[in-house]
Structure 1
């Protein structure tokens, strides 16, 4: 029997949640996704030092003052790493907009357009790139505008059903509802040490979104993300896509237990009525969902912190 990873690939498109080239070569995912945390790690790897130098040179050529230089350099670095990954995978790379722009629609659109320009300058067409944007109201509006321009988006840091409804209304290409971080919140709130995989709050959240989308014929792709264990992953077998870290990919590769389809787009089960999400309704629903509100804010802060760490590490190289 094939290992669990190969079985899973027959049911779901597997995406590598890493910027590590060696891991991507090993597990042969269809797509890959990065974020500031992953880029910060990647920038320390020997394989990427030429890209770091090229990004710094680009920043110095384009920028005026250190802050501007670093913004240009980090954008270029994310594109160069994305290009390297695209040389290995057959599909698409997700590249994230600076989390500090999460509440600024215009600035998010501008940054996304800039990233696409940088990819195109490297010979990469926009149809191989997804722009990752935090699922704030402002981010969703930016994504709606970008989609109309032919720039497809990946809405990340998605924890609540209201966010999923708003993204579907906006016609975004793909959402990345988180699983493990939802579990983290519920474990802390409930005092429980664990949940069975079938009762995992993160698994239930993604399953609900998937079934709602399929029952209402939304084209938006559902990509489960942020997993804590393989049990969560296997309970979402059949989801459109799953983005998985290398350590969990390895666990799946090392197991030959049977993998069963858990989600079926041809037979969705939902009790949710189709819900068009106006801004006031979105904000109220988020206010009522403490988990989604807290995890969204925390995720934005953490990505912003790692973006600053990346810029600071590049700033040290400029001094040297």
Structure 2
């Protein structure tokens, strides 16, 4: 008898949200997503020490300037994790650009090209890598340039329809709308729990999915940031879902009968908004006017940056 995780995979591509290689093997993930927080958590484990040592050695070999060495070490460490992940998953790995560059289009483009160059130097085709950028206006403009160069992008920290609209218009490969962080915001604001069917994070992803399918965008939707196993069960049929190890385990332990398709490109409700092409001014206003999305985008950027700084402090000692 199959379990809920195996059944879910019949309708949706399941991606492991982890930088732990053992977890990737265990759950048979097709792709993998990582971020600075996940790499930092993994990097303190002794089994990954060789990846850090290699990154440090690479940086020392290629520069004598301390700041450049630090930057090279971090890039190489992220790519080293990506290379190991690609030995396990048959699909793609997402590698994140420094969150501190989130409001600088040119810096995002430069960093993405550098990361792809490291992958290609290791013999990996760029089609197996997704460059992860924050869904700021600047990040989305960077993605538009990169996609034209065949560098595929995964837009993260996405909390609103206007961010999703701008991403689709930019022709990005994939977006990662967050569920759990939206839930966290409204749970704290309203002081109550939400059943999965009424969960504001779940409803947000459903709305974005239907908007994309109605208007025929090629950009695919990967629901992310889940707090309970019930949340992804309300998004069965979404293009992809990236799930943390604890959610994967909970679904593996649950009965397959819990899984029924909820989203379909051929079953779109009638209340989907008309097509909208955001301008920079309109994007910034709509994001500012959405208290949750505005707060959560900025908070997410700050937190990813904090974990990157922790990683840098760890590497600095070795340099």
TM-score range normalised by the length of the shorter chain? over 0.9
Determine if the alignment matches structure 1 residue 225 to structure 2 residue 224. Answer: yes
Separation in 2 of the partners of 1:67 and 1:191? 45
The residue number in structure 1 matching 2:114 is: 114
Separation in 2 of the partners of 1:183 and 1:204? 10
Question: Offset at 1:257?
Answer: 4.0
Separation in 1 of the partners of 2:54 and 2:125? 21
Determine if the alignment matches structure 1 residue 158 to structure 2 residue 158. Answer: yes
Question: Offset at 1:94?
Answer: 0.2
The residue number in structure 2 matching 1:66 is: 66
The residue number in structure 2 matching 1:283 is: 284
Task: Give the CA RMSD over aligned residues.
Answer: 0.8
Q: Which runs of 5+ in 1 are unaligned?
A: none
The residue number in structure 2 matching 1:238 is: 237
Separation in 1 of the partners of 2:62 and 2:299? 32
Aligned length: 317
Question: Offset at 1:8?
Answer: 0.4
Separation in 1 of the partners of 2:272 and 2:214? 10
Per-residue CA deviation, residues 62-113 of structure 1 (Å, 9 max, x unaligned), is 2343221111001001101101000011100000000000000001000000
The residue number in structure 2 matching 1:298 is: 299
The residue number in structure 2 matching 1:90 is: 90
Separation in 2 of the partners of 1:63 and 1:234? 49
SS at match of 2:176: strand
The residue number in structure 2 matching 1:256 is: 255
TM-score (norm 1): 0.98
SS at match of 1:223: strand
Separation in 2 of the partners of 1:137 and 1:14? 28
Question: Offset at 1:47?
Answer: 2.4
Determine if the alignment matches structure 1 residue 187 to structure 2 residue 187. Answer: yes
Q: Which runs of 5+ in 2 are unaligned?
A: none
